[in-house]
Amino acid sequence: MKKIIIVLFFLTLFIYSNKNQSDIVIPDSSIRFRIIANSNSDEDQYQKIAIKEKIENDVFKNLNQKNNINEFRQEIKANIPKIEKILKDSNIAYQINYGDNYFPLKEYKGVKYNAGIYESLVITLGTGQGKNWWCVLFPPLCLLESEQENLKDREYKSYIKEIITEYI
């Protein structure tokens, strides 16, 4: 009987702690960023990541200095010509859509990214039949993974919560 009570106690504790950790939800007033590869070939996936890195380094490096969503919007819109130049230099057909776009449900390191229509910058390379890379530009979570690559899940969730609280 004691074993059953102990098991039930730990099971309840586990369920309760996991429930609270997955309650972090990115707010609806966010801006997402997505790059969809032409295909799943190694070359197309490499090109997607190279374009992502070029855009992050050359275009969005100043986003973390913005204080609110309106400043982010202005910065994104002002830099669309720079993004187009990067894409033209990559010699691939592309489409850029800054507006409302559908994103499926995602969960990354215990943080829930709800499915829905979100304000976003979506870049489709070629036919757009490959895997995509995505992140959240506002609150500024895009550069988080590259800066904090070795964060454990619990630390990641805590850091995400801090950023959301700061910007929302």
Write down how long the chain is. 168
Give a yes or no: residue 20 inside a domain: no
CA angle 61, 62, 63 (to 5 degrees): 95
Give 85-96 pLDDT, tens digit per residue: 999 999 999 999
| Residue 100 Rama label (left phi>0; alpha psi -120 to 50; beta) | beta
| Residue 135 Rama label (left phi>0; alpha psi -120 to 50; beta) | beta
Give 22-62 pLDDT, tens digit per residue: 456 666 688 999 999 999 999 999 999 999 999 988 888 77
Give a yes or no: residue 3 inside a domain: no
Give a yes or no: residue 160 inside a domain: yes
Give the chain's domain count. 1
Give a yes or no: residue 11 inside a domain: no
pTM: 0.76
Tokens found for residue 63? 């986003």
Give 80-130 pLDDT, tens digit per residue: 999 999 999 999 999 999 999 998 888 776 777 888 899 999 999 999 999
Q: Which domain holds residue 57?
A: 30-167
